[in-house]
Amino acid sequence: MSTWAGTSIVRVTSKSTFINTLTNYFKNGSFPDKIKVSIETKYLKSTEGLGRKGHRVRPMNGGVNYEFIDSPGLSDTRGGQQDEINMTKILDAVSNPPSLCAIIIISGKDSRNVLTLRNAVTRLQGSIPDVVLQNLVIVFTKCRADNRNFDQKSLGNLQTKSIFYMENSAFSTDPANWTKGATTFLKPEFNQSMHTVEKLLGNIQKKAGVATQAFADMKSMRFKIKQTVS
């Protein structure tokens, strides 16, 4: 019998790097000759489809199926009203699978991204069931734990064991510049990102799934509150 692991991806920044790295993990991509691209970058054309409405289901060894739900972002540059619209879309998206094992928030490496991240989590705290916040996973892309541009203490109460770092410069560099010297650094980065995905999935497997009916109830409550104050 297979196990289902529904997971929502909420962007703060740098989501394309994360999704393209996931794609290579599940589709056995390799650097530099067989790199897979789901989201087109400045230098790399898309080679893979994203699936219906941003959903991606991939079988895993051991009978685990993962559904990654590509949700809208938070801390939108267009302001709080757009965040409200995006939050409604997030609740719609995560209500589809029977359960949700994790919410993955993608952020960049800079200190300003950490502030944006904290604002996004604050908005999540007021909009999703409390039990789900225990299943929060944070992924910082384009950096490693040793070269990030922020103090991890600045995360405050977001400091959990479910924090991962993923540096994969292959998706942000021009293949024309992939000289032998460059690949000496890029290939280990790529391979390490595959190991990080493996650890990330292991972390998600250990989390208890939350019935998504809780999200539907929260959405209904938000609607009633808006009706009352309008």
Encode pLDDT of 52-108 as tens digits. Answer: 444 454 545 556 777 787 777 776 667 667 777 877 777 777 777 777 888 888 877
Q: Give the Cα separation of 166 and 143 in Å (integer).
A: 6
Give the domain ranges of the chain. 3-229
Q: Can you give the pLDDT at residue 198?
A: 92
Q: Give the Cα separation of 181 and 60 in Å (integer).
A: 34
| CB neighbour list of residue 164: distance below 8 Å, 6 or more residues apart | 137, 138, 139, 140, 196, 199, 200, 203
The pTM of this model reads: 0.81
CATH of 3-229, one of 3.30.70, 1.10.3470, 3.30.43, 3.40.50: 3.40.50
Our CA dihedral for 40, 24, 169, 109, rounded to 10 degrees, sits at: 90
Mean pLDDT of 45-56: 64
